[in-house]
């Protein structure tokens, strides 16, 4: 009876363990946002999303696109005359004075660090001729990025019925903007002193989170707390967006932690020479082969990565460096997901005076194949 009871308990335990393994699901960190997304910047792969396509008010996260359009259409050392109407814009300010002049570079720092609405107006009118003209430029750039749920009517993000975006669209804007070196330098600046005033970046993650690179905070009563941030560790660059999130700092840190713990972005192909291929009738007995280029891939830390090399057992002279030798097939969890060209790294001309009969070539090929075959690389032939 005891043995029977023990067998039943063991069977139930095995079933529970099997069920837990078979039906285990990815556990995402919880967050307080109405809309959120975590994006891998280099591939635009979405690692996590929640209600990411709902059109929402976005407050000063608007200024990411403002800064990008300005950078693409002006120079940092251009001077902008400050008019009284710029200084009358409500909300956050970098305290511009009418009648003075500032460089585009200074205004961009005031825009991104202090979230200056006055800076936004000054830059918009300088580049677009007017607020409306600049908004047209913003929407044109959004169209180039294929943003389907965004529309802009001003450069600062103050609430307006036709001014909206989504967490997904903002992540795409942020990813594109961070490819601009000047944008990244400004967005990641912690503090700067200009004209006797010191401006501190509103993004607390720059101080509190390892690898943080900016990007933009935002808040209005109607929009709530909005935050777009970027962080990078070990070559893995992530973009996080939360909209209407009362606990955004903690939520971004948790999402970044989860992303860095569960993913990596790396070159999956070995560096340097992969193998040597015997050369028949060549001036060299064998030539090296290597990957033509790096093949960086976004990989889950739990993924099983295998690389199979389709290479010839031998080559006939002449062989030229850079010529295609074969292909590397990358498999993740048994599924082929990428291929890369393998090339010869050396040249081998036909050996002087080498004239072999067909039978001699076949015999030499057989001998060389036996000598060099069966390597650790698992060739397909």
Catalytic residue among 35, 74, 92, 115: 115
DSSP string, 8-36: HHHHHHHHHHHHHHHT----PPP---SEE
User: What are 290's strand-pairing partners?
Assistant: 343
User: Catalytic residue at 165?
Assistant: no
Tokens of 258: 């989860």
Residues 126-160, buried b or exposed e (16+ Cβ, 10 A)? Answer: bbbeebeebbebbbebbeeeebebbbbbbbbbbee
The reply to whether 250 belongs to the active site is no
In the DSSP assignment, the letter for residue 95 is -
CA dihedral 216, 49, 220, 55 (to 10 degrees): 120
Catalytic site includes residue 30:
no
Q: Determine the Cα–Cα distance for residues 130 and 347; give it in Å rounded to an integer.
A: 62
3-class DSSP state of 260: helix
User: Among residues 60, 92, 165, 281, which one is catalytic?
Assistant: 60
What Cα–Cα distance (Å) separates residue 93 from each residue in 117, 239, 275?
Answer: 5, 26, 62
Q: Please give the structure tokens belonging to residue 300.
A: 């889950």
Please tell me the distance from the alpha carbon of residue 316 to that of residue 279, in angstroms, as a whole number: 6
Strands (DSSP E) contained in the chain are 35-40, 45-50, 79-81, 101-103, 191-194, 197-200, 212-220, 224-233, 236-243, 263-267, 275-280, 286-291, 296-300, 305-310, 315-316, 324-332, 335-344
Handedness of CA 372, 373, 374, 375 (dihedral sign): positive
Of the candidates 63, 92, 175, 229, the residue annotated as catalytic is 63
DSSP 104-160: HHHHHHHHHHS--HHHHHHHHHHHHSSHHHHHHHHHHHHHHTT-SS-B-S-SS----
* Cβ 132 vs Cβ 67: under 8 Å: no
Q: Which residues are catalytic?
A: 60, 63, 115
């Amino acid at each position: 009876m005891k043995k029977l009871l023990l067998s039943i308990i063991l069977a139930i335990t095995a079933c529970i363990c099997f069920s837990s393994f078979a039906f285990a699901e990815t556990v995402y960190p919880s967050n307080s946002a109405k809309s959120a997304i975590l994006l891998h910047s280099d591939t635009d792969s979405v690692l996590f999303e929640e209600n990411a396509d709902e059109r929402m008010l976005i407050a000063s996260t608007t200024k990411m696109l403002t800064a990008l359009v300005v950078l693409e259409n002006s120079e940092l050392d251009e001077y902008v005359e400050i008019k009284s109407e710029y200084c009358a814009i409500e909300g956050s300010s970098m305290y511009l004075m009418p009648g003075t002049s500032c460089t585009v570079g200074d205004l961009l720092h005031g825009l991104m660090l202090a979230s200056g609405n006055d800076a936004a107006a000054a830059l918009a009118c300088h580049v677009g001729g007017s607020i409306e003209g600049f908004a047209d430029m913003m929407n044109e750039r959004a169209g180039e990025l294929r943003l389907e749920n965004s529309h802009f009517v001003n450069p600062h993000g103050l609430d307006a019925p036709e001014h909206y975006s989504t967490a997904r669209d903002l992540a795409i804007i942020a990813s594109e903007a961070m490819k601009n070196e000047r944008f990244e330098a400004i967005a990641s600046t912690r503090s700067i002193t200009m004209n006797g005033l010191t401006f501190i970046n509103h993004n607390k993650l720059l101080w509190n989170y390892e690898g943080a690179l900016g990007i933009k905070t935002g808040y209005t009563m109607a929009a709530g707390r909005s935050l777009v941030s970027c962080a990078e560790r070990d070559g893995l660059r992530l973009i996080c967006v939360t909209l209407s999130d009362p606990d955004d700092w903690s939520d971004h840190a948790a999402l970044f932690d989860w992303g860095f713990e569960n993913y990596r972005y790396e070159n999956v192909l070995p560096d340097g020479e992969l193998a040597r291929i015997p050369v028949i009738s060549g001036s060299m007995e064998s030539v090296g082969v290597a990957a033509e280029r790096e093949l960086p891939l976004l990989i889950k830390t739990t993924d099983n990565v295998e690389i199979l090399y389709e290479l010839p057992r031998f080559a006939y002279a002449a062989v030229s460096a850079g010529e295609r030798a074969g292909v590397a097939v990358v498999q993740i969890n048994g599924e082929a997901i990428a291929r890369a060209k393998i090339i010869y790294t050396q040249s081998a001309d036909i050996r002087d005076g080498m004239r072999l009969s067909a039978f001699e070539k076949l015999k030499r090929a057989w001998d060389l194949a036996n000598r060099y075959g069966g390597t650790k690389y698992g060739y397909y032939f």
